[in-house]
Structure 1
């Protein structure tokens, strides 16, 4: 890997207003704390164009803010064809979005697409981050717990496998 090339991580859910912006904010925070934010780019997107341009769901923002994560400046966007080439890690929150990404991806980039929770050290690799949109605040707490844990695992994975940036 070229030492000047940034690692690019894209988190993906359905509408890009709950789960993926939460992961975006949490992982961005961890990357900054680790002092490698100049070497890792973080973004999020949705497989559906329901909420393009909208900020994250207020419940997701409030839950994240209570733990020190800011995402008020994020805006929903849809996955674009060039994302498959541009990003090194394309991490889906659930199997439905994983499947949609795999269908849309050019064959040479499907190896970049994974379930985000595979980086969790406490959950099975095929565990999904549940969509909290139609539930109560406890769903957003659960999502944040899962995202924090998998984000730590992802950062540990990058430390081990991308030593040139650490």
Structure 2
């Protein structure tokens, strides 16, 4: 299964989601729950301007979550990324709508992260920490991490069908 996380610039939220999900997949694979390549994870942005991950986002991943990060190159979402992904998880409803407007044929694989993780929720947006302080980044990362953990076993069940 190939998952694509999407936000605005691919420097904060989708970067953190990719990092957190890759870490969870790595841990699940090392414990034998899934194979190492069972879930592939990528991220992209709708309007990429900056080239690398935000320093505060990197700091939160490394210092608060204990994840050793690699240099991240922000990238623009493309038709190829959308076509190649089995599941596209956006950080807000606005991101989801933008992708659906451009690629309505893929509506069955595009969700916000929160609506996919919590189907009964009415809150579907992860707050954008961009321009905020480190605490804003930490709070967004916690929301993302909780949603990823909530959806992880759902993903495994779907893969086993």
TM over 0.5: yes
CA pair 32-125 structure 1, distance change in 2 beyond 3 A: farther
- Say which SS state the counterpart of residue 12 (structure 1) adopts: strand
Distance between the aligned counterparts of 1:88 and 1:118, measured in 2?
Answer: 16
Aligned match of 2:48: 49
* Deviation at residue 113 of structure 1 after TM alignment: 0.7
Superposition pairs of residues 116-127 of structure 1, within 5 angstroms: 116-121=113-118, 124=121, 126-127=123-124
* Deviation at residue 121 of structure 1 after TM alignment: 4.8
CA pair 71-102 structure 1, distance change in 2 beyond 3 A: farther
CA pair 97-121 structure 1, distance change in 2 beyond 3 A: closer
5+ residue gaps, structure 1, are 1-6
Is contact 1:119–1:125 with CA below 8 Å preserved after alignment?
A: no
Aligned match of 2:8: 14
Residue 160 (structure 1) aligned to one of 153, 157, 160: 157
TM norm structure 2: 0.89
Please give the root-mean-square deviation of Cα atoms over the aligned residues, in Å.
1.8
More deviation, 9-18/145-154: 145-154
Distance between the aligned counterparts of 1:122 and 1:85, measured in 2?
Answer: 24
Tell whether 2:86 aligns with 1:88.
yes
Aligned match of 1:3: none
Distance between the aligned counterparts of 1:37 and 1:153, measured in 2?
Answer: 20
| Aligned length, in residue pairs | 155
Superposition pairs of residues 1-166 of structure 1, within 5 angstroms: 7-35=1-29, 36-51=35-50, 54-66=51-63, 67-105=65-103, 107-121=104-118, 124=121, 126-163=123-160
Distance between the aligned counterparts of 2:133 and 2:26, measured in 1?
Answer: 30
Distance between the aligned counterparts of 2:115 and 2:90, measured in 1?
Answer: 10
**Higher helix proportion (structure 1 or 2):** 2
